[in-house]
Amino acid sequence: MSDLVCEKHNHVAVIKLNRPDRMNAISPEMLTALGAGLAEFDQDPSVRAIILTGEGRGFCSGLDLKDTVAGKGIGGSLTSGGAAHVSTIDLPTVTLNRIDVPVICALNGPAAGYGFDLALGCDMRLMSDRAKLAPAFAKRGIVPESGGTWYLPRLVGWARASEICFIGDEISPDRALELGLVNKVVAHDALMTEAHSWAEKIAANAPLAIRAMKRLFRHGLSEDFESHTHHVLMQLMVLFKSQDVAEGIKAFIEKREAKFTGR
């Protein structure tokens, strides 16, 4: 079976990490497929939301350390002699940050290391009451290599990010919710139903506006307020020309649900 399963149901895509026997540890093949799957769904105008989850008991136990020791995957080159060119352009976590389609992480089980960073890179996180977060980087002599050092201070503040990473304790669902690392804790058996409910609500809204909002959120992290306001105004002028805006206004006047086409 493939290390990654990609499916699409109407306007909602599902990407499932599929190495349950290894708690979905990231293999080189999975890295390639994950980046390609995210990019493909982002380019598909019919996809309005993506759910990222794992098969079996875990979400993702991190990079496959056996692959690393064998000289494969991320970090594999560090165990062999010589230097090599390293580029981040095609890393799944970079693609995840770059795409405009909203991504919901359905944390069905433990997320450790790379899996922890991967979850942080999603726009929203729903967490099973059986899951846990394991930011054990300092216990392995490494740093959060795939986005954690960027996301954590922005999500929880400097002091909390330091507590999470410097101490490295496991984080329970209740603590993750308290810290703001997840949006909601859900009974395990209801997790995917809840994730699909959220995704379908997103998909029912105007897709051009949703993509634009996500893009503006991302750019706003590095812009001053006045520059960002200018870019928002430019985006708004483009959206005003869309059929979706006309449909949204008409639906409001007619007191009915809008039917958006993404045009």
Mean pLDDT of the residues in the chain: 91
* Overall number of domains in the chain: 2
pLDDT bracket for residue 207 (50, 70, 90): very high
Q: Looking at the structure, do residues 224 and 245 belong to the same domain, yes or no?
A: yes
pLDDT for residue 144: 86
- Say what the pLDDT of residue 142 is: 86
Strand, coil or helix: 37: helix
Residue 67 has pLDDT above 70, yes or no: no
3-class secondary-structure state, position 174? helix
- CA 262 from centroid of its chain's CA atoms: 22
Provide the residue range defining the domain that includes 15.
4-204
CA–CA separation, 19 and 33 (whole Å): 13
Judge whether 168 and 136 are in contact, CB under 8 Å. Answer: yes
Per DSSP (E only), the strands in the chain are 4-9, 12-17, 49-54, 103-107, 111-112, 124-128, 133-134, 184-186
Task: Establish if 144 belongs to a structural domain.
Answer: yes
Whether residue 226 is found in the same domain as residue 191: no
Q: Do 169 and 151 sit in the same domain of this protein?
A: yes
* Number of Cα atoms under 13 Å in the Cβ half of residue 145: 16
Can you tell me the distance from the alpha carbon of 42 to that of 208, in angstroms, rounded to the nearest whole number?
12
Return the CATH number at 128.
Answer: 3.90.226.10
The residue among 204, 219, 244 that closes a domain is: 204
Q: pLDDT grade, residue 42 (50/70/90)?
A: very high
Give the pLDDT mean for 70-77: 56
Q: CA 11, CA 159: separation in Å to the nearest integer?
A: 39
Q: Residue 109 in contact with residue 133, Cβ under 8 Å? A: no
Q: Tabulate helix, strand, coil % of the chain (nearest 5).
A: 50, 15, 35
- What was the pLDDT predicted at 73? 56
* 59 and 103 housed in the same domain: yes
Average pLDDT, stretch 77-83?
55
Strand partners of residue 15? 6, 52
pLDDT digits (tens, 9 = 90+) for 249-259: 999 999 999 99
Residue 100 sits in the same domain as residue 226: no
pLDDT digits (tens, 9 = 90+) for 112-168: 999 999 999 999 999 999 999 999 888 888 888 889 999 999 999 999 999 999 999
